[in-house]
Amino acid sequence: MKTGLVFRKVKAGILGATGTVGQRFIQLLDGHLHFELTELCASEKSSGKLYEEALSGRWKISSHIPEIAKKLTVKACKPDLDCKILFSGLDSSVAGEIETDFANKGYVVISNSKNHRWDKHVPLLSAEVNPDHLELVKHQESYKKSGGFIVTNSNCTIMGVTIVLKALTDKFGVELVHLVSMQAISGAGYPGVPSMDILGNVVPHIGGEEEKAETEPLKILGTYKGDEIINAPIKISAHCNRVPVIDGHMCCISVKLKKKASVEEITEVLQEFRGEPQLLKLPMAPDKAIIVRTEADRPQPRVDLMEGKGMTTVVGRIRPCSLLDVKMVVLSHNTLRGAAGAALLNAELMYRKGYLSQ
Ligand code: NAP
């Protein structure tokens, strides 16, 4: 991006650098305008090895491993690193404690794990939806003591859906949502779901996913008041399914609105939706947060997933619903918009708002 401005780069590290989300972080941080990749961390079994050796063939995204990562030695997740900000793609079995440790030592942690999402003073941030929630970090004990803090991303399944609900909430109000997901295999990390379970099959259960889909949008769409978030008064019912698609989570949603609206009005509102990332022209921000396809058979993961470099939410099949008011299909990229891309967009927002300047 050519802005004419010169930005001072902030040193960045990745926790869980060898994983599915960690690899995306490496790809996106390569040559980034605001961040310089200086540290890679993973489990004890990977630490002490050069990155490529630690991966031992697990690089699963299409581009080559960036040279900057090849030169780095993987370290254990101990808070003695040469960086200010840490992007975390840690497994949730270990993320909670490690991320807290880093925040207490003055690091800024952007987490993709579920562990801290419901901490009272931790924003569940979606840059287009609730940028005002960022202020919440100032109430974190670690922020007061060391300047460190934690910001989290939502679950990947509802990342795109929540952007759609934000656009609808602002214009018409939303009361009820019924959601059926078709989630990609990469959402389960690597090696993820065994091929014998998923090839030619659909698995109608993903542990803990429905609870996250039913509750996380309420915090993201909630109101920042005092030192907490008051959840949005929306009810969501979710069915979550794993399908044999590599990347891309698709959700069929039906929505009950507070104020009735036609398909044309809804289409226009979604197409015109812009958030702060678009206004600030942040590097990861797609020009259009949402694209609406009007063909009868779109969106499809194979065709539409990389809209806006994987950061645009693609909506289609907007039509009346005989139970609620309107129904549609929502597609978003689970490791880009649903994880590393969204986390980086959040970090860019924090950079521009001065949260990374001390
Ligand atoms: P993954 O592929 O299984 O990667 C997990 C990472 O955690 C690896 O780098 C692994 O390092 C590291 N790790 C495991 N145990 C560790 C330990 N004891 N100490 C330090 N590091 C350890 O998982 P993923 O799919 O990238 O997901 C990472 C997180 O993001 C999860 O919390 C997940 O729920 C969330 N998330 C994933 C997606 C997605 O689409 N995949 C989307 C949104 C959110 P080693 O290689 O050394 O074991």
Which residues lie closer than 8 Å to 219 by C-beta, 6 or more apart?
117, 118, 124, 229, 231
pLDDT of residue 61: 85
CA 327–ligand 1 middle distance (angstroms): 34
Q: What is the pLDDT of residues 70-127, one digit of tens each?
A: 999 999 999 999 999 999 999 999 999 999 999 999 999 999 999 999 999 999 999 9
Is residue 83 within 6 Å of ligand 1 at its C-beta?
no
Give the Cα separation of 304 and 314 in Å (integer). Answer: 7
Q: Whose CA is nearest to atom 25 of ligand 1?
A: 189
pLDDT of amino acid 357: 84
Confirm whether 11-155+340-352 and 156-332 share one CATH topology. Answer: no
pLDDT of residue 285: 98
* The predicted structure's pLDDT at residue 358: 58
How far, in Å, is the centroid of ligand 1 from the Cα of 187?
A: 11
Alpha-carbon distance 199 to 188, whole Å? Answer: 15
Helix (H, G, I), strand (E, B) or coil at 320: strand
pTM score, two decimals?
0.96
pLDDT of residue 4: 62
Q: Tell whether ligand 1 has an atom less than 6 A from the beta carbon of residue 184.
A: no
What is the model's pLDDT at position 63?
76
Cis bond upstream, residue 191 (ω within 30): yes
The answer to whether 252 is a known catalytic residue is no
Q: What is the pLDDT of residue 31?
A: 95
Which of helix, strand or coil describes residue 185? Answer: helix
Question: Does the domain formed by 11-155+340-352 have CATH 3.40.640.10?
Answer: no
Distance CA 131, CA 333 (A): 21
Domain ranges of the chain: 11-155+340-352, 156-332
Q: Is 310 left (phi over 0), alpha (psi -120 to 50) or beta?
A: left
CATH architecture of 156-332: 2-Layer Sandwich (3.30)
What confidence tens digit (pLDDT) does each residue in 168-190 have?
999 999 999 999 999 999 999 88
- The answer, yes or no, to whether any atom of ligand 1 lies below 6 A from the CB of 47, is no
Active site residue 83: no
Residue nearest ligand 1's atom 29 by CA: 89
Q: Which of 41, 77, 156, 251 is catalytic?
A: 156
Question: Quick check: 140 and 112 in contact, CB under 8 A?
Answer: no
Ranges of beta strands (E only) in 114-211 are 149-152, 174-183
Share of the chain above pLDDT 70, in %: 98
Task: Report the nearest-CA residue for atom 4 of ligand 1.
Answer: 19
Residue 16 CA, closest ligand 1 atom number:
9
Residue type, 356: L
Catalytic one among 240, 249, 251, 333? 249
Ligand 1 centre distance from Cα of residue 95 (Å): 9
Distance 11 CA to ligand 1 centre (A): 22
In the chain, which residues have pLDDT < 70? 1-6, 358
Point out the ligand 1 atom lying closest to the alpha carbon of residue 46.
Answer: 47
